[in-house]
Structure 1
Amino acid sequence: MNGILNFIVSVATTPALLVGLIAMLGLILQKKAATAVIQGSIKTFAGFLVLTGGAGILVTSLNPFATMFQHVFNAKGVVPSNEAVVALALVKYGTPAALIMIVGFIVNVILARFTRFKYIFLTGQAMLYVSTMSAVILISAGLGNGWLTILLGGIFKGTLLTITPALTQRYMRKITGNDGVAMGHTGNMGYALSGYLGEKLGNKDPEKSTEKLNIPKNLGFLRDSTVSISLVMMVVYVCLALIAGPRFVESSSLSAGTNYIVYAITQAGTFAAGFVVVLQGVRMILSEIIPAFQGIAKKLVPNSKPALDVPIVFPYAPNAVLIGFFVSFIVGVISMLIMLGLGTTVIIPGVVGIFFCGGAAGVYGNAFGGLRGAIIGSLANGLLLAWGPLLILPALGSFGADASSTFADSDYIVSGGLLGVMGKAGSGLLIVFILAFLAIVLITSLILNRRDRLHSKKLNKSNKLS
């Protein structure tokens, strides 16, 4: 039994394999030839490995940046890092977290099948992280680690990961130019906020897009995203290395004797290379997963959309990614300095999380609001990432008090914070909150479907009269 459970959990937490199998199912349901099934499944699987490999390169190049940053500011505190906090939590909460993840995925598929929210969340690591957060909060609230926690955690996780892609889909259609793919990341609430503020307060002129910046002809080479990203990151890395000093950078923990300027330039180039790999992975996935997903949409979950990981939007606005990252990072640094002055728990900017969430926020803000929208949206998202972790720390109980890391993205911050508040008020209220969350989603779906039917009848009636 344990072996079977371990196999299921391993498949569900390996995004490349999970999405490859989903693509295979979609192609089989379309009754494609065996060669087409094999080709589509393997290319989807390989594309995800390329994407995650590129993301790994980005993380590798950002880690030295974070180390130099903490040395320069001599800051000690809590670092928002989903990977770190989940690794610590799984030691104690591994079994309930794994079972919550399985129940949650089933809930997600059922809701996608029977409600208007047709999003199947396929980012395996995010599924595990939300499941782990749910397990920690529910157990800390006194529900224990039995079937009730697993069932409630699964309902909460499945409902959350069904509804949050819907918050951003309007902006995804604008970003990608179609309605075939959704955002499957735990920063969706922040992205929706960025998109909303970008639309309301940003540039209305489409020519003001971050991707149409007026660059002089002699600087035209900067339009190449690889070149511009490399140059910008080189300036940032070299400046930070100069402040940190050669003695620290050339220590065994960083460059291991390599000249500190050369090391900084190399890490900046590595970052740009990782970005290029991510873009290639995204192209491979989109060319295979959307056609393959039509089989699932038509047979199992009609009109469903795959919700994929955050780098899926990066190729559409590379300039906005950089702008969003730097704005969010600056907000994080300023917020950290304010926290030091106030004497509160200090949230040290998590560079990796800020890059992915901040970069995506820039893309969403730019979608309807251009350059100004990207800046405003990233600013709001940066404030949420900087101060939000202070809200979720109490929700994690004794685990949160002892850990030097916490959850980073907006969906953890908002949903985890709410769960924590309810848990503090009593386990009964927590149960009511989770069931009410599910009920609200179901009722909202019914109301919106009824509204659409009435609107359709009015249109038909108007057409007949005309």
Structure 2
Amino acid sequence: MAALDFIIKNILTQASIIIALIALLGLVLQKKPLGTVVSGTMKTMLGFLVLSAGSSVIVSSLTYFGDIFQSAFGLQGIVASIEGINGQAMNELGLGSEIAITLAGIFIVNILIARFTKFKYIFLTGQALLWEATLCAVFAYYCGLRGLPLILAGSIVGGFFATFMPAFAQPIVKKITGSEDIALGHLCTIGYMFTALVAKLTGGNSKSTEDIELPKSLEFMQDTYLSVMVVMVPLYLITAAFAGPAACADYCGSTNYMVHAFLQGMQFVVGVYVLMTGVRMLLAEIVPAFQGISMKLVPNSVPALDCPVLFPYAPNAVILGFIFTTIGSIIGMFTTPLVGLPMVLPGVLSNFFAGGTAGIFANQVGGRRGVAIGCIAHGIFITFLPAMLSPMLAEIGFIGTTCTDVDTVVTAFFFMLIKSVTGVFGF
């Protein structure tokens, strides 16, 4: 009994150990050499710990930003950062183990659906599954579930999204790539399809974005961290300037408040860099641990891969999609308070990756005009949905932040809908 109590309190409550054990199981089942098993298990744990450290840095920076933003403008600025939610869920709600196990459960449900239905899509973007597992765990928790019921509910809901979102996007992905060899595994799919619909209705016979040449001065936007820095650092500086030294004094101490704001903006970028480094380390080990198993279990399966796999097919559309999505998100930022919703600050990472991919979708069906109009609409869309979700997140304790990937937002709405309609949760 004492041994079981020790395992529950000291092992099953440690998310990094849980995720490492999952990788260990996957590698052992594939009969990998001992060295590979040990290396893969330890690198998985290290990657998860680095990811957690990056999340903590982001949360700290966003806490500062939210306070000075409210002081500067008298508005509660909601930051769209699913990374911040992940960090808070693990550190403050203590859901790290549940998120880790739900992540594995989502993958298992995805394999089962693909194995026994005609939807043969295996979702291999572990980062997106991690965010989906986070939202499933958080909102199952919000609906009153704990322990195994929480994990089962999150795994089933997340597994359905992981299977059917690639299927939803596949008709356009097939046109983009010219084949069905790959699918899109990025949980912003509802936003992409919304953008494609708008682009198709407005694009007409507009020429492709790939028939024009972008100036070299915009090439730096292809570097994720530079694009984050270029947007976030000025945002921190402008906000601090409006807030003034008195509002920033509790944070900056003896350091000049504008210098401190600059460093906090850079700290946000550092947090993103650390988190993404951890994600890459984690996924480099955990995805292969599952991939071999899934491909053996699901004949004729189609891998659903992260959105950058589409970038080479329309690189100009990526940059233009990012720009016009950012414009749309700024419009949305100033519009949401007019309809009684919180002001949502643009999510730079989401604008780049989701906006760039939305640009590819819009270009495929509506050309240049479709990209311009469709991606502005996309920016507004991905601002309004997180704004609608933020009051529910605030009830759980996630103050000053909301989600970015719209499929995860819809996941949260799904949990709330099921609860309100059936009353199943919360017993």
Structures share fold, TM-score greater than 0.5:
yes
8 Å CA contact 2:54, 2:273 repeated in 1: yes
- From the superposition, tell whether residues 319 and 70 of structure 1 become closer, same or farther in structure 2 (CA, over 3 Å): farther
**Normalised by the size of structure 1, how large is the TM-score?**
0.62
| Counterpart for residue 414 of structure 1 | 410
Partners in 1 of 2:275 and 2:182 — Cα distance? Answer: 20
Aligned runs of 1:26-65 on 2, under 5 Å?
29=30, 33-36=33-36, 61-65=61-65
Partners in 1 of 2:352 and 2:116 — Cα distance? Answer: 34
Aligned runs of 1:393-408 on 2, under 5 Å?
400=395, 408=403
**Normalised by the size of structure 2, how large is the TM-score?**
0.66
Amino acid in the other structure paired with 1:214: P
- From the superposition, tell whether residues 32 and 363 of structure 1 become closer, same or farther in structure 2 (CA, over 3 Å): same
* Residue 330 (structure 1) shift: 1.0
Task: Name structure 1 gaps, 5 residues minimum.
Answer: 431-466
Partners in 2 of 1:42 and 1:147 — Cα distance? Answer: 26
Partners in 2 of 1:50 and 1:97 — Cα distance? Answer: 16
| Counterpart for residue 133 of structure 2 | 127
* Residue 75 (structure 1) shift: 1.6
* Residue 259 (structure 1) shift: 1.9
| Counterpart for residue 205 of structure 1 | 208
Q: How many residues align?
A: 402
8 Å CA contact 2:89, 2:95 repeated in 1: no
* Residue 127 (structure 1) shift: 1.0
Partners in 2 of 1:190 and 1:163 — Cα distance? Answer: 14
Amino acid in the other structure paired with 1:327: I
* Residue 364 (structure 1) shift: 1.3
Deviations 1:105-135 (A, max 9, x none): 5433321332324324743353142133135
| Counterpart for residue 262 of structure 2 | 265
Partners in 1 of 2:50 and 2:183 — Cα distance? Answer: 19
* Residue 233 (structure 1) shift: 4.3
Partners in 2 of 1:266 and 1:62 — Cα distance? Answer: 13
| Counterpart for residue 343 of structure 2 | 348
Choose the corresponding residue for 2:142, options 132, 136, 143.
Answer: 136
- From the superposition, tell whether residues 334 and 427 of structure 1 become closer, same or farther in structure 2 (CA, over 3 Å): same
Task: Report % sequence identity.
Answer: 28
Deviations 1:217-276 (A, max 9, x none): xx5884773656544544443333322223323x123x3332233233334444555566
| Counterpart for residue 383 of structure 1 | 380
* Residue 323 (structure 1) shift: 3.1
| Counterpart for residue 446 of structure 1 | none
Partners in 1 of 2:81 and 2:221 — Cα distance? Answer: 32
Aligned-partner SS, 1:349 = strand
Task: Name structure 2 gaps, 5 residues minimum.
Answer: none
Amino acid in the other structure paired with 2:259: V
Partners in 1 of 2:253 and 2:13 — Cα distance? Answer: 38
- From the superposition, tell whether residues 105 and 136 of structure 1 become closer, same or farther in structure 2 (CA, over 3 Å): farther
Amino acid in the other structure paired with 2:354: A
8 Å CA contact 1:133, 1:416 repeated in 2: yes
Aligned runs of 1:231-250 on 2, under 5 Å?
231-249=230-248
Aligned runs of 1:39-438 on 2, under 5 Å?
61-76=61-76, 87=89, 106-115=108-117, 116-120=119-123, 122=126, 123-137=129-143, 139=144, 154-168=155-169, 182-183=184-185, 185=187, 187-194=188-195, 197=198, 204-207=207-210, 213-215=214-216, 219=217, 222=220, 225=223, 230-249=229-248, 251-253=249-251, 255-273=252-270, 294-302=291-299, 319=319, 323=323, 326-327=326-327, 329-339=329-339, 344=340, 346-349=341-344, 354-369=347-362, 376-388=373-385, 400=395, 408-409=403-404, 410-421=406-417, 423-427=419-423
- From the superposition, tell whether residues 55 and 63 of structure 1 become closer, same or farther in structure 2 (CA, over 3 Å): same
Partners in 2 of 1:231 and 1:77 — Cα distance? Answer: 19
* Residue 334 (structure 1) shift: 1.1
- From the superposition, tell whether residues 387 and 50 of structure 1 become closer, same or farther in structure 2 (CA, over 3 Å): same
8 Å CA contact 1:230, 1:269 repeated in 2: yes
Which has the greater radius of gyration? 1
